[in-house]
Structure 1
Amino acid sequence: MLKNILSLIIAATVVVSGTSNLTPATSDTNPSDIVLANANLVSGEFNAAFEFTPAESKNGLQLAVTASGLDMETAYSYHIHAKLVPADGNCTETGGHLDPFKIKETAGTAYKCDKDNAQTTCELGDLAGMFGSMTADADGKFTLNAPESILTFGGDNNILGYSVVIHRPDSTRLACANIDSFTAAPVNPVKKC
């Protein structure tokens, strides 16, 4: 039963207010026009929102993550996975970490992501390796604001069309959601259903 509850995921939902409109990106959308990609994960009392936007420096994407309902002093890893979450929400179907350059395959057991040399030492999807584990504060919350990364909305380091997965310390998959893209000014993602 608990396994079924953990696999129930609500994918990205966005609040639209006033005159703001978010339009899902299509295959005709130019990656440079995409200004927001969200992945919202909800599993029981656990909530997380990932927001990818173009970095002000024009180098890749910035990443903002908020999470709540985490166990204190527990390090959760989080990654972009190579397959989308299926309609039934089964996180195990998202495949392995996104690694288009076969960094981990080449390194084998010697794999170690070096955030200062992420392009050559990290799986593209190894967010925990690049930004550190998701570790809760005393209130069970986690926040990350990374001003830039090697991730992009197109080209070799593209993250669109993939999913985000959060793992428990024993590597089981806690929650997952697809990275959905939009072509308008970003707004705050919905936290509750």
Structure 2
Amino acid sequence: MRASTTILAILLPLAALANRAPQVTDNPPDVEYVATLPNGTTSTTGSVTISSGCAGGGEEGVEVQVRIAGLPTEGGPFLYHIHKRYLDATGACSSAGGHLDPFMNNGTGCNATDPASCEVGDLSGKHGEISDTIFSASYQDAYISVQNQSFPDPKSPSVAMRSLVVHFANKTAITCANFTLNSMYVCSSSSSSAGGGSGATGSPGSNAGSGAGSSGSSGSNGASGSSGSSGSSGSGSGNPGSNGGSPSGQASGSGAGSSGSGGNPNGSGNGGSVVTVTQIVTAPVNGGAPASGA
């Protein structure tokens, strides 16, 4: 009797541990499955989209986007789950089988604060039931896989070869649809680029001018810097001018009688080419006028 008690004490914690879903860490990136409602004649429409992240960081879990409308005005709160099989040719929701439950939770309970305790397919149990006729939600789920499979493996947490079923509170099916691979899916992530080109053109003159990314126009009173593309820098110098107007936009002018120049903030591009004009003055020969060359 004592030996049986000891064995039972060992097996019970192991059984409880076996019912917990492990987090998925090997998802292929850039994969998306979509279940589009309705599958039939019900007024309930919408979709559930399950996608992995972009390459270089999309291996852990999935993002789930839910958009459902036209639910009944009575019979809620409504439930929705991933079921373990594809719908058959009849499209009957009863052909979907039970919930996706590869780790044998067997419906013994779902604690939303401990989602590993839930059936993998119990989306409303883990992330909230639907209490209105229109529902929209986006969330991360660490326990669903998007690994491809050629048959609905009961031991896999993958959404491939599975179906979606939306239920009344009493578990009666409202509508259902198969999850299908979105072959057109392209993962995207936000990114920002350095550099800018918002500054106005600097006017030529004796004053130093600067502009962010814009070209300075040349003139008789000293050429300003040539343009830099997308925040690239440019600079130029020319003959002395007088009373040059300060450039507009982000530019500022200062000084009098100095050579004009345009400078852009450093960006990601290279500055455009610069044309430099140089005046050489030689000493008078035998009292004659100075000779000059450009």
Q: Distance in 2 between matches of 1:55 and 1:131?
A: 19
Relative to structure 1, the CA distance from residue 135 to residue 186 in structure 2 (aligned partners, 3 Å threshold; closer, same or farther) is farther
In structure 2, the residue matched to 1:70 is 71
Q: Is the 8 A contact 2:101 2:157 kept in 1?
A: no
The amino acid that maps onto 2:129 is S
* Deviations 1:27-58 (CA, angstroms, capped at 9, x unpaired): xxxx6255211001114221020111114763
What is the aligned-residue identity percentage?
Answer: 26
Q: Distance in 1 between matches of 2:113 and 2:142?
A: 10
SS of structure 2 residue aligned to 1:157: coil
Q: Which ranges in structure 1 are unaligned for 5 or more consecutive residues?
A: 1-30, 106-110, 188-193
Superposition TM-score, scaled by structure 2 size = 0.46
Which consecutive aligned stretches of 4+ in structure 1 deviate over 3 angstroms post-superposition?
A: 55-58
More helix by share: 1
Q: Is the 8 A contact 2:81 2:123 kept in 1?
A: yes
In structure 2, the residue matched to 1:116 is 113
SS of structure 2 residue aligned to 1:164: strand
Whether 1:146 aligns to 2:139 is yes
**Pairing 1:1-193 to 2, within 5 Å after superposition:** 32=28, 34-42=30-38, 43-55=41-53, 58=58, 59-72=60-73, 74-104=76-106, 111-119=108-116, 121-136=117-132, 140-154=133-147, 156-185=156-185
* Deviations 1:132-167 (CA, angstroms, capped at 9, x unpaired): 11222xxx3100111343211129421111111011
Superposition TM-score, scaled by structure 1 size = 0.68
Q: Which ranges in structure 2 are unaligned for 5 or more consecutive residues?
A: 1-26, 149-155, 188-294
- Taking CA–CA contacts closer than 8 Å with sequence separation of 6 or more, which of the two structures ends up with the larger relative contact order? 1
SS of structure 2 residue aligned to 1:175: strand
Larger Rg: 2
The amino acid that maps onto 1:141 is I
How many residue pairs end up in the alignment?
149
Q: Distance in 1 between matches of 2:113 and 2:146?
A: 21
Q: Distance in 2 between matches of 1:86 and 1:39?
A: 15
Q: Distance in 2 between matches of 1:99 and 1:147?
A: 18
| Superposed displacement of residue 100, structure 1 | 0.8
Query: What is the RMSD computed on CA atoms of the aligned residues?
Result: 2.5
Q: Is the 8 A contact 2:42 2:174 kept in 1?
A: no
The amino acid that maps onto 1:62 is E
Q: Distance in 2 between matches of 1:99 and 1:34?
A: 24
More strand by share: 1
